């Protein structure tokens, strides 16, 4: 297809898409004018029923906990996929871990990056733990907090070296966190079957809204997901870093250093 024809096809298709999008957007309800009963029902009942002030978390870990279990296992499957794709292959060899992407001669991070990274590790950990532990009270929850916690590990890498990252976040610990979190979420659901008659039924006391220990299974669910997501993202991060910094194809080595 020649360029002018291609442009004409694109313009026609683009105009059609724009028209359809405008038509669709014109039919959307206005901001704040939600239509549909479920949101309103849950907004009314989440605090008196479950003593949970973050309604989104109440939906994620209680009312629709089953969906979250599915999502959690999507992440789990993705992590397993990364692990099996990036496993050690024949003909690949590990070299001394170091950072040498082309055109980057600097081997050690600058003082500014190191200081910034070190200064941010602590606060990032605290924010991550806070977001996980207060999933039932304030916005956020296991997923968001888990990713924040995993980025703390990245800060360690930025501030120092890959070897340090291995020391503070050993692979075995990361895998354990991922597996424990995923299993714990499934077990919380089974706890509902045993003590409340249905999978993911809220079988713990709901307490009083505003207390840290309230909301029944919402907080344990948030912590389980936080553990699994921290492990999952830290695992993928480590695997990618390892591919970049450690693994080297054997045949490339024979041609000598560049």
For the bound state, the minimum distance from the C-beta of residue 196 to another protein, rounded and expressed in Å, comes to 26
For the bound state, the minimum distance from the C-beta of residue 223 to another protein, rounded and expressed in Å, comes to 17
Nearer residue to another protein within complex by CB, 69 or 237? 237
Near another protein by CB under 8 A: residue from 154, 204, 206, 218: 154
Stretch that binds another protein, among 4-12, 114-122, 133-141, 219-227 (CB under 8 A): 133-141
Nearer residue to another protein within complex by CB, 191 or 219? 219
φ and ψ at residue 136, rounded to 5 degrees: -85, -5
For the bound state, the minimum distance from the C-beta of residue 43 to another protein, rounded and expressed in Å, comes to 13
Q: Does 249 bind another protein (CB under 8 A)?
A: yes
Q: Does 114 bind another protein (CB under 8 A)?
A: no
φ and ψ at residue 218, rounded to 5 degrees: -65, -45
Site for another protein in 44-63 (CB under 8 A): 54, 56-57
For the bound state, the minimum distance from the C-beta of residue 193 to another protein, rounded and expressed in Å, comes to 28
d(CA 107, CA 77): 35
d(CA 202, CA 83): 34
Stretch that binds another protein, among 5-13, 36-44, 113-121, 149-157 (CB under 8 A): 149-157
Does residue 219 contact residue 129 with C-beta atoms inside 8 Å? no
174, two tokens: 């990361």
For the bound state, the minimum distance from the C-beta of residue 127 to another protein, rounded and expressed in Å, comes to 10
State the Cα angle at 219 between 177 and 233, rounded to 5°: 30
Q: Does 240 bind another protein (CB under 8 A)?
A: yes
Q: Does 31 bind another protein (CB under 8 A)?
A: yes
Q: What pairs with residue 94 in β-bridges? A: 247
| DSSP per-residue letters across 171-216 | HHHHHHHHHHHHHHHHHHHHHHHHHHSSTT---S----TTSSS-ST
Helices (H), the chain: 3-26, 37-45, 55-58, 65-85, 111-133, 142-159, 162-168, 171-196, 218-245, 250-254
Q: Does 140 bind another protein (CB under 8 A)?
A: yes
For the bound state, the minimum distance from the C-beta of residue 130 to another protein, rounded and expressed in Å, comes to 12
17, two tokens: 């898409």
Give the interface with another protein as residue ranges (CB under 8 A): 31, 54, 56-57, 100-102, 131, 139-141, 143-144, 147-148, 150-151, 154, 233, 236-237, 240-241, 243-244, 248-249, 252, 258
């Amino acid at each position: 297809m020649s360029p002018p024809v291609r442009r004409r096809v694109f313009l026609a298709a683009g105009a059609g898409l724009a028209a359809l999008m405008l038509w669709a957007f014109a039919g959307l309800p206005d901001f704040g004018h939600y239509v549909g009963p479920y949101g309103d029902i849950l907004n009314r009942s989440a605090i008196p029923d479950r003593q949970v002030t973050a309604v989104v978390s109440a939906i994620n870990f209680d009312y629709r906990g089953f969906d979250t279990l599915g999502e959690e296992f999507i992440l789990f499957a993705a992590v397993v996929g990364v692990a099996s794709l990036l496993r050690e292959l024949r003909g690949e060899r590990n070299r001394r871990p170091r950072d040498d992407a082309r055109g980057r001669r600097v081997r050690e991070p600058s003082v500014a990056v190191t200081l910034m990274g070190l200064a941010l590790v602590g606060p990032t950990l605290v924010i991550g733990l806070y977001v996980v532990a207060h999933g039932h009270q304030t916005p956020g929850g296991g997923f968001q907090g888990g990713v924040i916690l995993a980025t703390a590990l990245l800060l360690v890498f930025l501030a120092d070296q890959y070897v340090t990252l291995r020391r503070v976040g050993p692979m075995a610990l990361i895998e354990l966190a991922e597996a424990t979190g995923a299993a714990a979420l499934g077990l919380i659901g089974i706890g509902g079957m045993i003590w409340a008659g249905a999978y993911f039924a809220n079988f713990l006391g709901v307490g009083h809204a505003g207390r840290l220990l309230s909301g029944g299974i919402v907080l344990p669910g948030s912590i389980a997901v936080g553990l699994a997501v921290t492990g999952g993202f830290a695992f993928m991060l480590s695997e990618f870093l390892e591919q970049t910094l450690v693994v080297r194809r054997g045949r490339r080595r024979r041609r000598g250093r560049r």
